[in-house]
Amino acid sequence: MARMGRHQQIIFFRTLFRASPVGAGLWWGLLLVGGLIPAVFALATGSVIRAVESDGSLAGPLVVIGVVFVAMQVIGPVHSAIGQNLGRLAADWMNDRLLRATTAPRGIAHLENPDLAAELSMARDFDLGITAPPLFVSMSFIAGGLRPLIAGVASAVILFGFAWWAPLVLVAGWGSTHWLLKESGVWKDRNTDPVRDAQRHADYAYRLAVDAPASKEVRLFGLAEWIVDRFARRRQHLYDLQWEATRLRERSVLSSLLAVAAANGLVFWRLAVATADGRVDIGDTVVYFISAISVSAIAFGGLNWALDSASAPAAAVERLAAQLHATDSLSPPIDSEGIPSAALGAGAHGVHFRDVSFTYPSASAPVLTDLSLGITPGTSLAIVGQNGAGKTTLAKLLCRFYDPQSGRIEIDGADLRSLDVDAWRARVTAVFQDFVRYELPLRDNVAPLGAPDEMILEALAEAGADDLADLDTPLARGYEGGTDLSGGQWQRVALARAICGVKQGAGLVLLDEPTAQLDVRGESEIFRRLLAATSDCTTILVSHRFSTVRLADRIAVVEGGKVIETGTHDELIALGGRYRTMYELQASRFAEVDEHGEEIVYDTLS
Ligand SMILES: Nc1ncnc2c1ncn2[C@@H]1O[C@H](COP(=O)(O)OP(=O)(O)OP(=O)(O)O)[C@@H](O)[C@H]1O
Ligand SMILES: [Mg+2]
């Protein structure tokens, strides 16, 4: 544990140097100068006394004392300003490194891996002041811990002039307090699992209460008391942990007192004897006395909690940077046996899943087992299946967020793994089930990387979202002129984004529940328009709504990790299998009986 802590501290100081070599150099330089001041002061005092004794000139020693005195006043504020700046630069550097580390892997397994979640949140949130002060504040505490340590050691060095053993005895005596009183008085180890766990739960309860998203349920389900109680209990648990970690331990205090008293007693006694015997002159005696007292600074300084809590995230960032790159969920590119990526032509792509098996890295059960499915270029395929059947997973594999463990996905006959990932992704556009609602103007929501306004407006019109808002309107409340959209309106914006992708040249369109939140009339109308807009592409649609599904050229039913039925709507109805059962189940929900006892079937399925 201690070695790990030291290792983290080394990483932290390396981080400071990487973030700003000049800033870190200045910070260390002034820290050293500040730490040496008490020793210089002691030596200067000795010179004054010696000068007085020998009737020598006082000018030199007094100038030194004056300079030291002025330096003491000036160095503090300057050092703290440099420390603040350095802290900010280091935090930026760490944020930047984490940004690069998390965005570098081409796959997304690292962000969906529960084992990395705690490490990621520590590396991400370190500067928010939740578990420790922000780095720019911590730098003062860190300096405040190191300066006395330097001062104590420098004073000890002076004592070598008196006796070789004296500094060793004093440093050992005062230094032993660090070891004996560790974890007393200050809460050092905040990064334990119980602390992080209690912190995370307390924060979560707090956010449920104060943020907008949960406000409706909190009120409707009467959760306010429950949340406050959860928050209070987790905070109480945190305080208990803190109390346990930081209370003074009586026996250690007693041992520390004994060690310190013995060391000081010995040194001061020998010094007194030596002075009385005339072996040490009065000037030196004063210097040694002041120095012997100043060695005590060692006990009050040290590598304190601020350094520990600043070092932990610095080390986490480094670990993640190394780990994330090494554990990209994508397998290395394989030799292209078929079409090289350069030949990935424009237009619709043929897609073929061949015996694909896939298990999420953090799961034990496979989602897909030997799944095979072909899609002819330029056609649309709907995928249906129960919740958790693996439909979204198929879309993720097609985008190469993960690679299957066995089998292969072919694009126009070439193994997907042989294609350049970026080149391939440029050919794909999608509406994901959990599409992103960017807190940005409508224009950027449709084309985050930019597109001509006419194209954006066209895409919006084709998605039935032409009268939602001005292109410049931010789609978030809390911004000037900003507005929020309804669930279905947001879905239309996401559709417009996918359509814009088609207009910019995508050849494969993935639609994962793109119309789940649209009103019934809007849904079939938009889906028809969508099929028209994407007629030059291969379209894969995932939907639970059979009124949409039946419009696709072909339909595949996924169950138990495999495709169990494929065909057109009519073929699958005629087959009388799973598709027909699901279809009829849904159709019956739309049937009602009118006042004459006749069954009316709403027109949503025609
Ligand atoms: N990142 C993940 N890590 C581990 N397991 C996952 C992950 N994502 C999904 N799963 C699991 O994989 C299975 C398939 O999930 P998937 O999202 O593909 O289902 P789906 O068919 O899209 O369902 P739905 O109709 O509800 O959207 C589920 O059992 C799910 O719990
Ligand atoms: Mg899904």
Element (H, E) at 411: strand 406-411
- 274 and 141 in a single domain? The answer is yes
Residue keyed to tokens 């999420």? 360
- 156 and 273 in a single domain? The answer is yes
Element (H, E) at 429: strand 428-431
Judge contact between 246 and 187, C-beta under 8 A. yes
- 11 and 27 in a single domain? The answer is yes
Say which residue, 396 or 306, is predicted with more confidence.
396
Both structure tokens of 317: 């960032």
- 232 and 222 in a single domain? The answer is yes
Both structure tokens of 55: 């009737």
Q: Which of 247, 278, 300 is the last residue of a domain?
A: 247
State the pLDDT confidence band at 329, using cuts at 50, 70 and 90. low
**Average of pLDDT values for 505-530?**
83
Judge contact between 499 and 463, C-beta under 8 A. yes
Q: Which domain holds residue 39?
A: 2-182+258-326
Give domain status of residue 67, yes or no: yes
CA of 392 to the centre of ligand 2 (A): 4
Question: Of 353, 391, 397, which is best to mutate to test ligand 1, by the most ligand atoms within 8 angstroms of its C-beta?
Answer: 391
- 23 and 132 in a single domain? The answer is yes
pLDDT of 337-382, one tens digit each? 445 555 677 788 999 999 999 999 888 999 999 999 999 999 999 9
CA of 389 to the centre of ligand 1 (A): 7
Is ligand 1 within 6 A of the CB of residue 360?
yes
Calculate what percentage of the chain has a pLDDT beyond 90: 49
Is ligand 1 within 6 A of the CB of residue 509?
no
CA of 393 to the centre of ligand 1 (A): 6
pLDDT of 236-261, one tens digit each? 998 888 787 777 667 778 888 999 99
State the pLDDT confidence band at 598, using cuts at 50, 70 and 90. low
**Torsion-angle region of 581 (φ positive above 0: left; ψ -120 to 50: alpha; else: beta):** alpha
Q: What are phi and psi of 413, to 5 degrees?
A: 90, -10
pLDDT score of 602 more than 60: no
Give domain status of residue 589, yes or no: no
Q: Which of 245, 227, 226, 238 minimizes the C-alpha distance to 200?
A: 238
- 301 and 398 in a single domain? The answer is no
- 141 and 242 in a single domain? The answer is no
Cα 323 to Cα 325: distance, rounded to the nearest angstrom:
5
Give domain status of residue 605, yes or no: no
Is ligand 1 within 6 A of the CB of residue 367?
yes
Is ligand 1 within 6 A of the CB of residue 387?
yes
The pLDDT value recorded for residue 323 is 82
Cα 82 to Cα 23: distance, rounded to the nearest angstrom:
7
Question: Of 360, 364, 387, 562, which is best to mutate to test ligand 1, by the most ligand atoms within 8 angstroms of its C-beta?
Answer: 360
pLDDT score of 386 more than 80: yes
CA of 544 to the centre of ligand 2 (A): 10
Average model confidence (pLDDT) across the chain: 86
Helix and strand numbers (H, E) in the chain are 22, 12
CA of 392 to the centre of ligand 1 (A): 7
pLDDT of 196-249, one tens digit each? 788 888 888 998 888 888 888 888 888 999 999 999 999 999 888 878 777 766
CA of 394 to the centre of ligand 2 (A): 9
- 545 and 449 in a single domain? The answer is no
Judge contact between 448 and 438, C-beta under 8 A. yes
Which strands sit side by side in the sheet containing 368-375, from one edge to the other?
368-375, 351-358, 406-411, 414-415
Half-sphere exposure of 340 (CA within 13 A, CB side): 1
**Which ligand gives the minimal distance to the CA of 512?**
2
Q: Residue 142 maps to which CATH number? A: 1.20.1560.10
Q: Which atom of ligand 1 is nearest to the CA of 395?
A: 18
Both structure tokens of 21: 């070599």
CA of 99 to the centre of ligand 2 (A): 27
Is ligand 1 within 6 A of the CB of residue 389?
yes
Cα 500 to Cα 512: distance, rounded to the nearest angstrom:
17
Give domain status of residue 594, yes or no: no
**Average of pLDDT values for 584-588?**
82
Q: How far is CA 518 from the centre of its chain?
A: 34
Give domain status of residue 152, yes or no: yes
Residue having the nearest C-alpha atom to atom 9 of ligand 1: 393
pLDDT score of 189 more than 90: no
Judge contact between 127 and 135, C-beta under 8 A. yes
Both structure tokens of 495: 């559709």
Q: Residue 356 maps to which CATH number? A: 3.40.50.300
pTM tops 0.85: no
State the pLDDT confidence band at 305, using cuts at 50, 70 and 90. confident
Q: Which long-range contacts (CB under 8 A, 24 or more apart) does 452-458 make?
A: 455/500, 455/503, 455/504, 456/496, 456/500, 458/503
Residue having the nearest C-alpha atom to atom 25 of ligand 1: 387
CA of 502 to the centre of ligand 1 (A): 27
The pLDDT value recorded for residue 458 is 93
CB neighbour list of residue 105: distance below 8 Å, 6 or more residues apart: 324, 325, 327, 328, 329, 330
Q: How do 414-415 and 428-431 pair as beta strands? A: unpaired
**Which ligand gives the minimal distance to the CA of 386?**
1
**Average of pLDDT values for 463-471?**
87
- 501 and 560 in a single domain? The answer is no
Is ligand 1 within 6 A of the CB of residue 433?
yes
The pLDDT value recorded for residue 115 is 79
Question: Of 116, 393, 512, which is best to mutate to test ligand 1, by the most ligand atoms within 8 angstroms of its C-beta?
Answer: 393
Is ligand 1 within 6 A of the CB of residue 392?
yes
Q: What is the DSSP string of 367-383?
A: SEEEEEEEE-TT-EEEE
* SS3 call for 174: helix
* SS3 call for 234: helix
CA of 501 to the centre of ligand 1 (A): 25
Q: How do 599-601 and 591-593 pair as beta strands? A: antiparallel
pLDDT of 19-40, one tens digit each? 999 999 999 999 999 999 989 9
Is ligand 1 within 6 A of the CB of residue 510?
no
Is ligand 1 within 6 A of the CB of residue 388?
yes
**Segment among 148-152, 344-348, 413-417, 471-475 with least mean pLDDT:** 344-348
Q: Which atom of ligand 1 is nearest to the CA of 558?
A: 21
Give domain status of residue 407, yes or no: yes
pLDDT of 78-136, one tens digit each? 999 999 999 999 999 999 999 998 988 888 888 888 878 878 888 888 888 877 889 99
Q: What radius of gyration, in Å, describes the C-alpha atoms of the chain?
A: 35
Q: What is the DSSP string of 472-485?
A: T-BSSTTSTT----
Give domain status of residue 421, yes or no: yes
* DSSP H stretches of helix in 391-550: 391-398, 421-425, 442-446, 453-462, 487-503, 520-533, 546-549
Q: What letter represents residue 322's amino acid?
A: A
CA of 203 to the centre of ligand 2 (A): 29
**Average of pLDDT values for 314-339?**
72
Judge contact between 472 and 440, C-beta under 8 A. no
- 75 and 208 in a single domain? The answer is no
Give me the number of domains the chain comprises: 4
Residue keyed to tokens 């249906």? 384
Q: What letter represents residue 535's amino acid?
A: S
* SS3 call for 352: strand
Is ligand 1 within 6 A of the CB of residue 363?
yes
- 318 and 368 in a single domain? The answer is no
Both structure tokens of 231: 């928050």
CB neighbour list of residue 326: distance below 8 Å, 6 or more residues apart: none
Give domain status of residue 523, yes or no: no
- 170 and 148 in a single domain? The answer is yes
